[in-house]
Chains A and B, each alone.
Chain A
């Protein structure tokens, strides 16, 4: 019990805001990664952390408008991307090359995003404290 009372050596004096980046590279329903990432985004925001979401490769398919999942018996979680703003998650970045490779343009996406080159994404990545890959 005494161990629990001892201050953690690394405990910050005030609330520490870290820069979190969630890198999404998987399509939405074939695996659970996309949904898990969304949950982590919401949790991170709940703890008032600075979170940005990146969509690359098949991850851009998560943001495609008009998803209808009744037929596959899986919850359509894409509307949740529209709710992110309400949790102060407003940094959504999409890789230009990945969109082009899939024949997608910004108006195909269900939320406003910032389209960046891979190089620009690389620069953003290097500025993060924590990067989680999904």
Chain B
């Protein structure tokens, strides 16, 4: 299944709760303010790096670009464009847009 997060992990606990819920093999897509979780130097970096070992983690490049943080992408996270976003929702039978 695909988990989608659009909130900064420093502002809400959504990412934290998602990470303890997501199971090995699930995918996680960070969009909008969720992309702050995909950046190096953030307080949540270690948690996200650990998640990359069991989950496939993606970040939406236009949102990274918009926030000027594309250069700080955590290694192991895959950038996708809007087309890639659509593909992810098609290749996973269940999507959960965490609120």
Please list the residues of chain A having a beta carbon within 8 angstroms of any beta carbon in chain B.
23, 25-26, 33, 56-57, 95, 97-98, 118-119, 121-123, 125-129, 131, 133-134
Q: B76-99: which residues lie under 8 A (CB-CB) from chain A? A: 93-99
Please list the residues of chain B having a beta carbon within 8 angstroms of any beta carbon in chain A.
1, 13-14, 17, 20-23, 26, 93-99
In the complex, the answer to whether B17 meets A56 with C-beta atoms within 8 Å is: yes
Output the least CB separation between A49 and chain B (Å).
Answer: 15
Identify 26 residue pairs between A and B in the complex whose beta-carbon atoms are under 8 Å apart, listed by A's number: A23-B96, A25-B17, A25-B99, A33-B99, A56-B17, A56-B21, A95-B17, A97-B20, A98-B17, A118-B20, A119-B21, A121-B21, A122-B23, A122-B26, A125-B1, A125-B21, A126-B23, A126-B26, A128-B94, A129-B94, A131-B94, A131-B95, A131-B96, A133-B96, A133-B97, A133-B98
Output the least CB separation between A28 and chain B (Å).
Answer: 15
Task: Across the interface, name the chain B residue whose C-beta is closest to A57.
Answer: B17
- B97 cross-chain contacts in A, Cβ below 8 A: 131, 133
- A57 cross-chain contacts in B, Cβ below 8 A: 13, 17
- B13 cross-chain contacts in A, Cβ below 8 A: 57
In the complex, the answer to whether A119 meets B17 with C-beta atoms within 8 Å is: no
Output the least CB separation between B69 and chain A (Å).
Answer: 25
- B93 cross-chain contacts in A, Cβ below 8 A: 129
